[in-house]
Amino acid sequence: MIPFPKKKVPRDVALKDLRILEREYPNPTTALQYRNPYELLIAVILSAQCTDERVNMTTPALFARYPSPRDLAAAKPHDVEKLIKSCGFFRMKTKSIIGAARALAEQYDGVVPEQREALEALPGVGRKTASVVMANAFAEPALAVDTHVFRVSHRLGLTLGKTPRDVEDDLTALLPKRKWGNATHWLILHGRKICKAPVPRCGECPLNSLCPTPAIIARHRSLPRQPR
């Protein structure tokens, strides 16, 4: 595994990185398909440890059967499990989405709340899920840190944060609030396309000359191999 840089890049370099990402990914959106905040919320819960493509294959049948929070709140867990099985962790996810739907139906008249505190109080909803829903469904300022955002921002030296919350704080300090939601997408798209795990494609990367990681990779490769 390639170690992350131990020092952050200067602020002006970090800002250049972000401007390049903004230029590279000018109209970023989530790959999850949804028609309303309820569908987005459920899709994001299902996307934990699962690809967006897989979630998009699963949700049409789920939402055809349970088109509103009230419908899903009344669902039998076994029926939901069958529909979402291919997303993995299906028992836990069934519990979360039925629980979230019940809370929406009972406490919010079937409407997804826009406030972070209310979202994070729903079953199966943590800070990252709440941020995705706030930014994409309600255009609220929120930056979500998933595995791509965590990895790419560390490789670029934008953060030394140990936790997603630390990374979020470093990234949001670099950007105006109106760009927080898009910045999530820039980093995710770059992580999927070029700055891949485990091996980034630095030769194809427009950030190459600013990024500390190519030098780390070069040093790493020149180290003598340990006998096994």
**Catalytic residue flag (residue 146):** yes
**Catalytic residue flag (residue 170):** no
Kindly write down the DSSP assignment for every residue of 44-79, as one continuous string. HHHTTTS-HHHHHHHHHHHHHH--SHHHHHT--HHH
On whether the CB atoms of residues 121 and 127 are closer than 8 A, the answer is no
Catalytic residue among 52, 146, 166, 169: 146
Part in contact with ligand SF4 (CB under 6 A); list of ranges 28-36, 84-92, 93-101, 211-219:
211-219
Phi, psi of 149, deg, nearest 5: -60, -45
Please say which residue, 21 or 100, places its beta carbon nearer to ligand SF4. Answer: 21
On whether the CB atoms of residues 119 and 133 are closer than 8 A, the answer is yes
Please tell me whether residue 214 binds ligand SF4 under the rule CB under 6 A.
Answer: yes
Residue 84 tokens, joined: 């979402």
Please tell me whether residue 205 binds ligand SF4 under the rule CB under 6 A.
Answer: yes
Q: By CB under 6 A, how many residues form the interface with ligand SF4? A: 13
Among residues 44, 143, 189, 195, the one that binds ligand SF4 under rule CB under 6 A: 195
Please tell me whether residue 208 binds ligand SF4 under the rule CB under 6 A.
Answer: yes
Segments in the chain forming alpha helices (H): 11-24, 37-46, 52-65, 69-73, 77-84, 90-107, 116-120, 127-138, 147-155, 164-172, 180-193, 213-222
Residues 127-146 close enough to bind ligand SF4 by CB under 6 A:
none
- All residues at 6 or more sequence positions from 227 whose CB lies less than 8 Å from its CB, including other chains: none
Please tell me whether residue 33 binds ligand SF4 under the rule CB under 6 A.
Answer: no
Please tell me whether residue 20 binds ligand SF4 under the rule CB under 6 A.
Answer: no
What does the binding site for ligand SF4 look like in residue numbers (CB under 6 A)? 155-156, 194-195, 200-202, 205, 207-208, 211, 213-214
- Catalytic residue numbers read 128, 146
